[in-house]
Chain A
């Protein structure tokens, strides 16, 4: 029996998690919220060493905790802010893996003696935890660009996915009726494969939504393992994350104009798709840094559209330098932040905050979209998909329906790009070929500092 004091302490930890999520939803209290959550979690772990009588293998457990702590801290401290989304994906995946392992062990020990509902919860944790584990690893590989970020469609992929899903379902039912150990391992293997198949066909733009969804998945599997272990804290914490994660996934999908179902069931409906690689050798207008500098200096209003390419080139500082310079010359400058600029909602705000860009200059999409028509120049730095007019007009485009920044309504458009390579979603951008568009090829940081030098010399 778990002592009463520890149950009350666990209630405190659960409360800390609720307060943490609440505080994390508001900019003023977010950091405090995260710390409240951390304190709750550390307390919960500390409690278990005292409340659980006769824990065996204590030295090994402590070594494992210490090892995980070191790995976690080093990974979290070393990761660059640009790579943060994939790090979150990875942290989420290992959590799912842990939940799956915990329920598996409990099954090995107790078998069917815990009752049918516990058996169902075990199956649930194993399936969802495994999917979250391998699915998160695939999203990590996609974002880290260790594999293509485009949808991967296997030959007959649809049938393989549906087949695996059915096999997983059958095995789940089998395990609940005949709780045998080989069935457990088969289910684990099937679910791990299912996680890979689930994420492979997801296209670049949908990856953040999938990370959020897998995060909710892991939460639910932790909740289910809490049920298996009769542990109220795990149940509450897991459910909180599962529910808030599901809502967050919906909010994100809405911000990106992506129907959630198409992301979710992409794996089941994916066809060998319409990768539109239209003529690459179409004429574009490009110019040197001096021309761009003149254009910007004599503009009355400039709107900057920063994207992930800016962050990859570590060019936020140079960008801010250019903006400060232009402002000192009397040009009105603002940043237009697309909700998913960068790789995730809010990611660009984090990256620009890192470069000390004043908060007031950052405008969200709804605020700024009507302003483009009054702007002399829209400067698109390392962004592509978020200004692609195909999202408004081309129904066959994979990004159709995504709200975009109206950069094409500015008098002139400047693109700073490394190459003509399409954006993360893998879609050609018509705006590049528009008459009012000028391209400045090169590394964003390099281009920006050249433009800064040119503006200075004027």
Chain B
């Protein structure tokens, strides 16, 4: 039973952390933030690898491999596309700093 309570505790605390960390986001960053958060849940890949690694029959294996491909696309694609978005912000920032000098 204690493991379940522990997981529940972690769950509740994580909710508050999740609310807290993004509470001050500026409007212009809504899209990149969503995209970055999107990439983070791609970590379901870890779960996909675990269940596929213990697959006992072809159905489980096939489903698992599909899950791995999907999760990897989510994770890798998510981080790469977020980086592309933020790269644009960065160049803007640096030209802005350059102008001031």
Contacts and interface: CB of A to CB of B under 8 A. Distances in A.
Contacts of A230: 3, 7
Given A27-B29, A34-B79, A247-B22, A21 B37 contact: yes
Given A81-B85, A248-B37, A353 B92 contact: yes
Interface residues of A, number: 111
A194 to B, nearest CB: 19
A102 B74 contact: no
A105 B84 contact: no
Contact of A25 (B29, B31, B89): B29
A73 B81 CA distance: 8
B49 A49 contact: yes
A456 B80 CA distance: 41
Contacts of B45: 41, 45, 65, 98
Contacts of A76: 76-78, 80-81, 84
A211 B34 CA distance: 9
Contacts of B81: 75-76, 79, 84, 87-88, 91
B18 A345 contact: no
Nearest to B14: A239
A243 B44 CA distance: 17
A248 B25 contact: yes
Contacts of B56: 109
Contacts of B40: 17, 20-21, 37, 41, 219, 237, 240-241
Contacts of B51: 102, 105-106, 109, 229
Contacts of A229: 47, 50-51
Given A44-B43, A71-B73, A109-B56, A88 B35 contact: yes
Given A84-B35, A94-B71, A353-B88, 13 more contacts: A27-B29, A52-B53, A65-B45, A76-B78, A98-B70, A115-B4, A117-B4, A227-B11, A235-B11, A236-B10, A239-B11, A345-B28, A359-B93
The prevalent SS among residues of A at the interface is: helix
A55 interface: yes
5 contacts: A68-B73, A76-B78, A97-B67, A101-B63, A235-B10
B98 to A, nearest CB: 11
Interface in B15-58: 15-19, 21-56
A38 interface: yes
Given A101-B63, A102-B51, A87 B77 contact: yes
Interface in A177-214: 211-212
Interface stretch (A56-64, A413-421, A426-434): A56-64
A24 B49 contact: no
B101 interface: no
A98 B36 contact: no
Nearest to A237: B43
B54 to A, nearest CB: 7
What 6 pairs across the A-B complex have the smallest Cβ distances?
A: A68-B72, A243-B18, A55-B53, A72-B77, A72-B76, A345-B30
A225 interface: yes
Given A245-B37, A251-B30, A231 B21 contact: no
B83 A101 contact: no
A163 interface: no
Interface in A232-266: 232-248, 251-252, 255
Contacts of A52: 49-50, 53
Contacts of A222: 41, 43-44, 47
Contact of A354 (B32, B75, B88): B88
Contacts of B54: 55-56, 109
A245 B78 CA distance: 15
A27 B26 CA distance: 8
A145 interface: no
A276 interface: no
B34 A245 contact: yes
Contacts of B48: 98, 101-102
Contacts of A350: 31-32, 85, 88-89
A27 B64 contact: no
Given A24-B32, A55-B54, A240-B14, A18 B21 contact: yes
B48 to A, nearest CB: 5
A398 interface: no
Contacts of B60: 105, 108-109
A58 B53 CA distance: 7
B11 A345 contact: no
B55 A56 contact: yes
